[in-house]
């Protein structure tokens, strides 16, 4: 395989063109300190330069003018975009400036000179401690959920079938936790400890149902621990997502009896069902928010952080739309939404972004890792991220997901 086999078709924002020449420069930001009446000087290295890059592109053919207008429009667009460089592969860049030229001597031909810089990473936003803000908002949200549950949930003085309906729902929720725990044994630590906590919860439900505040705090402790022991934030979110699905009401209890007449007992059963589901949903999202608030939280990419943020905000939106919500609950949910948004806004700028590259020939993961990252030890990450069966043969002509 030669360098010709590794060339890629040039494009920017999906507009294809040809490249006749490419140049670049780099170096270090070195400051020279010179002193009066001294024969020597000092130097200070302030880090790597951003580099300056340019290439000469051209369009040719009967429809070159249409392609020219499309490329000009693409170059004029703001923000970071992907350049597929014939020699350097896929790059996230910002266009600095460009010029184009058409001559009467070369009909059907337009040349461009394009200057750009690599996008780099955004500087982290330094603000108030967003982790503490999320933790405080999550605590307040759980407190309001508990207060609402304690004020409205009750099986005391109710017929046994009303009590059993609530107990069955809580047992199903516990079974959902237990089932999810069985699926992720390989992904979490301290599985035996959490399994014991889940079993204790199931065994105590008949007693806890008589004490609503204790019931909520006990369930919240188990769910928080369950999400908290996940080995990474992606696994934690997977647990949260499955818990949320397991806590949903699948068969709403009717407020009317078989004869179509509404009864107080049926109404109590339906109210308790809604209260339990609302409380469990709030516990799940609060526990996930606590995981995001952790000092050691680590997202693998910008896209992952934004996706988790958006999922949590959407769930909180759904919870805030409940017609039975008190003003205090609504205020607590809104505060948690704001805190989560600011938390991810603080973390996201410094995260790597997902990009997609292609290679003209099948190459070993070690080679592509060296080309993309300058670090062959990241080959395992490439293989895992792209679910490659054989690391010696990364796919040719297909998108390969990388972190830039």
* Residue range 194-237, pLDDT digits in tens: 788 888 899 999 999 999 999 999 999 999 988 988 888 999 99
Q: Give yes or no for a contact between 379 and 369, defined as CB atoms under 8 angstroms apart.
A: yes
pLDDT band at 193 (very low <50, low <70, confident <90, very high): low
Q: Could you give the CA distance from residue 182 to residue 396 in angstroms, rounded to a whole number?
A: 38
**Boundary of a domain, candidates 118, 150, 180:** 118
* Range list of H helices, 12-159: 64-76, 130-152
**Do residue 184 and residue 95 come from a single domain?**
no
Domain count, the chain: 3
**Dihedral sign of CA atoms 311, 286, 216, 219 in order:** positive
**Do residue 388 and residue 278 come from a single domain?**
no
Phi and psi (nearest 5°) for 262?
A: -70, 135
Specify the pLDDT at position 121. Answer: 67
For residue 323, is pLDDT > 90? no
The answer to whether residue 125 is domain-embedded is no
With residue 326 as reference, give the H or E element that holds it: none
Contacts of residue 394, Cβ cutoff 8 Å, sequence gap at least 6: 359, 362, 363, 364, 365, 368, 382, 386, 388, 400
**Do residue 154 and residue 197 come from a single domain?**
yes
Q: Which residue's structure tokens are 């605590």?
A: 139
Which residues span the domain enclosing 81? 3-118
Is residue 139 classed as helix, strand or coil in its secondary structure?
helix
**Do residue 100 and residue 135 come from a single domain?**
no
For residue 295, is pLDDT > 60? yes
**Do residue 341 and residue 384 come from a single domain?**
no
Q: Kindly report the CA angle at 128 between 123 and 134, in degrees rounded to 5?
A: 105
Q: Is 353 exposed, middle or buried (0-12, 13-18, 19+ CB in 10 A)?
A: middle
Specify the pLDDT at position 197. Answer: 85
Candidates 207, 204, 242; CA nearest to 223 is 242
* Residue range 205-217, pLDDT digits in tens: 999 999 999 999 9
The answer to whether residue 124 is domain-embedded is no
The answer to whether residue 222 is domain-embedded is yes
**Do residue 98 and residue 221 come from a single domain?**
no
| CATH value at residue 50 | 2.40.30.200
Q: What is the mean pLDDT of the chain?
A: 89
* Residue range 109-146, pLDDT digits in tens: 999 999 999 987 665 544 468 999 999 999 999 999 99
Specify the pLDDT at position 403. Answer: 84
**Do residue 255 and residue 162 come from a single domain?**
yes
| Residue 318 or residue 230, greater confidence | 318
pLDDT band at 192 (very low <50, low <70, confident <90, very high): low
| Window from 2-11, 171-180, 354-363, 394-403 with minimum mean pLDDT | 2-11
**Do residue 188 and residue 103 come from a single domain?**
no
* Residue range 38-74, pLDDT digits in tens: 888 889 888 888 899 999 999 999 999 999 999 999 9
């Amino acid at each position: 395989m030669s360098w010709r086999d590794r060339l890629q078709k040039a494009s920017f924002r999906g507009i294809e063109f040809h490249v006749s020449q490419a140049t670049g420069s780099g170096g270090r930001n070195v400051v020279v300190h010179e002193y009066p009446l001294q024969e020597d000087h000092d130097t200070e290295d302030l880090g790597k330069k951003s580099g300056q890059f340019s290439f000469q592109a051209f369009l040719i053919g009967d429809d070159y003018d249409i392609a020219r207008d499309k490329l000009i429009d693409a170059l004029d667009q703001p923000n970071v975009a992907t350049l597929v460089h014939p020699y350097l592969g896929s790059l996230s860049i910002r266009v600095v400036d460009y010029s184009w030229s058409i001559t009467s001597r070369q009909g059907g031909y337009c040349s461009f000179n394009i200057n750009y810089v690599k996008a780099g990473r955004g500087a982290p936003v330094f603000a108030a401690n967003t982790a503490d803000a999320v933790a405080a908002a999550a605590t307040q949200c759980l407190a309001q959920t508990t207060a609402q549950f304690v004020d409205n949930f009750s099986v005391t003085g109710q017929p046994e079938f009303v009590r059993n309906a609530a107990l069955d729902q809580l047992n199903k929720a516990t079974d959902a936790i237990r089932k999810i725990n069985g699926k992720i044994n390989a992904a979490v630590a301290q599985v035996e400890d959490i399994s014991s906590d889940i079993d204790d919860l199931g065994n105590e439900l008949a007693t806890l149902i008589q004490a609503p505040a204790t019931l909520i705090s006990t369930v919240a402790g188990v769910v928080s621990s369950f999400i908290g022991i996940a080995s990474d934030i992606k696994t934690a979110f997977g647990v949260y997502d499955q818990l949320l699905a397991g806590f949903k009401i699948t068969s709403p209890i009717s407020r009317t009896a078989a004869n179509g007449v509404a009864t107080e007992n049926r109404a109590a059963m339906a109210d308790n069902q809604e209260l339990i589901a609302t409380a469990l949903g709030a516990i799940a999202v609060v526990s996930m928010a606590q995981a995001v608030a952790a000092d050691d939280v680590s997202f693998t990419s910008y896209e992952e952080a934004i996706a988790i943020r958006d999922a949590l905000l959407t769930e909180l939106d759904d919870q805030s739309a409940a017609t039975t919500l008190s003003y205090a609950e609504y205020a607590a949910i809104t505060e948690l939404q704001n805190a989560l948004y600011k938390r991810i806004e603080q973390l996201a700028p410094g995260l790597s972004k997902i990009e997609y590259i292609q290679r003209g020939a099948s190459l070993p993961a070690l080679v592509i890792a060296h080309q993309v990252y300058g670090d062959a030890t990241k080959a395992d990450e490439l293989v895992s991220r792209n679910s490659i069966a054989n690391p010696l043969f990364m796919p040719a002509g297909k998108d390969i997901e990388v972190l830039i």
